[in-house]
């Protein structure tokens, strides 16, 4: 969110998560963050049987688009002096998955979420 703001990128989150973009900058445990989490959990329950395109790429040994997504945010953040720790860990984890150093597993969520705390 901070990188997007610095680049004057207009983000649309209301339709996806029923929250304004600023909520993504809210501290964990805040009321705004709890609303986001509740909305996500509702959506997740209805979509949990779907397999994301990046997971499908990893399972089939194909490269993912992680460098064009999280990688871009990390690079732009570095140019602007804005840290992007969530994107950095996502980039690292997916690169390790692509290289076969890691395997898809729910325990990776703990590694990712530790950065957010």
Give pLDDT, residue 17.
Answer: 67
Give pLDDT, residue 116.
Answer: 67
Higher pLDDT among residues 94 and 12, named by residue: 94
Q: Average pLDDT of 66-85?
A: 96
Q: 94: burial class by Cβ within 10 Å (0-12, 13-18, 19+)?
A: buried
The answer, yes or no, to whether residue 68 has pLDDT greater than 90, is yes
Is the whole model's pTM more than 0.85, yes or no? no
Higher pLDDT among residues 92 and 39, named by residue: 92
End-to-end CA, the chain? 17
Residue corresponding to tokens 């990688």? 71
Give pLDDT, residue 20.
Answer: 75
The answer, yes or no, to whether residue 14 has pLDDT greater than 90, is no
């Amino acid at each position: 969110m901070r990188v997007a703001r610095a680049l004057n990128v207009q983000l649309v989150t209301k339709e996806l998560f029923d929250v304004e973009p600023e909520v993504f900058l809210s501290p964990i445990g805040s009321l705004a963050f709890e609303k986001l989490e509740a909305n996500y959990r509702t959506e997740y329950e209805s979509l949990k049987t779907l397999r994301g395109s990046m997971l499908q790429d990893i399972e089939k040994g194909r490269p993912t688009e992680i460098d064009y997504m999280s990688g871009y945010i990390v690079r732009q953040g570095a140019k602007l002096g804005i840290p992007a720790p969530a994107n950095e860990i996502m980039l690292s984890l997916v690169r390790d998955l692509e290289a076969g150093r890691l395997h898809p597993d729910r325990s990776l969520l703990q590694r990712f979420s530790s950065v957010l705390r």
